[in-house]
Structure 1
Amino acid sequence: MTAPKRKKARANGEGTIYQRKDGRWEAAGYVLAANGTRRRVRVYGSTRREAADKLAERIADSNRGFPVATADSTVGEYLTYWLGSVAVHRLRENTHTRYSACVRLHLIPGLGTKKIARLTTKDVRTFLDRLRTTCQCCTQSLDTERKQCCAIGECCQKRLSPSTVTYLHSVLKSALEHAVREDELPRNVARNVKAATPRPRRFRPLTAGEARQFLAAARADRLHALYELALRTGLRKGELLGLHWEDLDLNGGAASIRRSLQRTRTGGLTHLPTKTRASERRIALPAECLRSLREHKDRQEEESETAGPVWSDSGLVFTTPTGRPLDPANLTRRFRSFLDRAGLRRIRFHDLRHSTATLLLEQGVDLVVIKELLGHAHIGVTAGVYAHVRLQLQRQAIDTLGHALGQDDDPDDPRIAAVVR
Structure 2
Amino acid sequence: MARLPIPLGNWGVIRTKRMTPRSWRARAYYRDMDGVLRLVEARGSSSAEAQRNIQVKLKERQTPRNGLVSAMDRINKLIDVFLVEMEASDKADRTKDKYSYCVKKYIQPALGSVRISEVTSGVVDHFIRSLVADVGSSTARSCGAVLSWMFKVALRHDAVKINPVVGVSIPKNSTAKPQALNMAQYQDLRNKLIAWEQEPALGRPRTQELHEIADFLVGTGLRPGELLALHWGDLDLESDPPTAFIHATVIRTTSGGVRIQNHPKSRHGIRRVVLPAFLVVALRNRLAHQQVTNSPNLTNLIFPSSTGTICDANNVGKVWRKAANSIGYDWVTFRTLRKSNATAIARAMGAEAAAYQLGHSKIAMTQEHYIEEYKEALDTRSVLDGFGTLPEGAADTPPAPTKAAGSRDNEDE
Q: Using structure 2 for the length normalisation, give the TM-score.
A: 0.69
Q: Kindly indicate which of the two structures has a greater share of residues assigned to helix.
A: 1
Which one has the largest radius of gyration? 2
Using the alignment, how far apart are the partners of 1:195 and 1:341 within structure 2?
Answer: 38
Using the alignment, how far apart are the partners of 1:288 and 1:132 within structure 2?
Answer: 45
CA deviation vs aligned residue, 1:110-162 (integer Å, no higher than 9, x gap): 333332234222222233234445xxxxxxxxxxxxxxxxxxxxxxxxx3212
Contact 2:132 2:139 in 1 (8 A): no
- Give SS of 2:259's match: strand
* Matching residue of 2:79: 79
* Matching residue of 1:105: 105
1:174-323 mapped onto 2 (5 Å cutoff): 174-201=149-176, 204-217=179-192, 221-252=208-239, 253-266=242-255, 268-272=257-261, 273-304=263-294, 307=295, 311-323=296-308
Contact 2:251 2:259 in 1 (8 A): yes
Which of 363, 382, 391 aligns to 1:379? It is 363
- Give SS of 2:166's match: helix
1:361-400 mapped onto 2 (5 Å cutoff): 361=346, 363-386=347-370, 389-392=373-376, 395-396=377-378, 400=380
Contact 1:75 1:114 in 2 (8 A): yes
| Residues 1:336 and 1:129: Cα distance change in structure 2 (over 3 Å) | closer
Using the alignment, how far apart are the partners of 2:374 and 2:259 within structure 1?
Answer: 38
Q: Name the amino acid aligned to 1:275.
A: K
Which of 343, 355, 359 aligns to 1:358? It is 343
Contact 2:321 2:330 in 1 (8 A): no
Displacement of 1:176: 1.3
1:393-412 mapped onto 2 (5 Å cutoff): 395-396=377-378, 400=380, 404=384, 407-409=387-389
| Residues 1:181 and 1:110: Cα distance change in structure 2 (over 3 Å) | same
| Residues 1:77 and 1:344: Cα distance change in structure 2 (over 3 Å) | same
Backbone CA RMSD of aligned residues: 3.6
* Matching residue of 1:347: 332
- Give SS of 1:335's match: helix
CA deviation vs aligned residue, 1:237-265 (integer Å, no higher than 9, x gap): 01000000110000110110011122313
Contact 1:218 1:227 in 2 (8 A): no
Displacement of 1:207: 3.2
Q: Name the amino acid aligned to 1:240.
A: L
Displacement of 1:322: 4.6
- Give SS of 1:283's match: strand
Displacement of 1:293: 0.4
Using the alignment, how far apart are the partners of 1:24 and 1:377 within structure 2?
Answer: 48
Displacement of 1:232: 1.4
- Give SS of 2:373's match: coil
Using the alignment, how far apart are the partners of 1:75 and 1:405 within structure 2?
Answer: 70
Using the alignment, how far apart are the partners of 2:153 and 2:36 within structure 1?
Answer: 21
| Residues 1:56 and 1:275: Cα distance change in structure 2 (over 3 Å) | same
Q: Name the amino acid aligned to 2:99.
A: Y
- Give SS of 1:86's match: helix
| Residues 1:233 and 1:312: Cα distance change in structure 2 (over 3 Å) | closer
Find out whether 1:163 has 2:162 as its counterpart: no
Displacement of 1:340: 4.8
Using the alignment, how far apart are the partners of 2:76 and 2:306 within structure 1?
Answer: 48
Identify unmatched segments of 5+ residues in structure 2. 1-18, 38-61, 196-207, 392-413
Range 372-381 or range 245-254, more displaced: 372-381
Range 319-328 or range 350-359, more displaced: 319-328
Displacement of 1:409: 3.0
| Residues 1:201 and 1:93: Cα distance change in structure 2 (over 3 Å) | farther
Contact 1:279 1:375 in 2 (8 A): yes
- Give SS of 1:191's match: coil
Contact 2:178 2:372 in 1 (8 A): no
Range 337-346 or range 111-120, more displaced: 337-346
Using the alignment, how far apart are the partners of 1:130 and 1:224 within structure 2?
Answer: 42
* Matching residue of 1:62: none
Displacement of 1:385: 1.5
Q: Name the amino acid aligned to 1:318.
A: F
Contact 1:131 1:160 in 2 (8 A): yes
Contact 2:221 2:341 in 1 (8 A): yes
Report the identity percentage.
Answer: 26
> Relative CO higher for 1 or 2, CA cutoff 8 Å, sep ≥ 6?
2
Pairs aligned (count): 331
Using the alignment, how far apart are the partners of 1:164 and 1:378 within structure 2?
Answer: 23
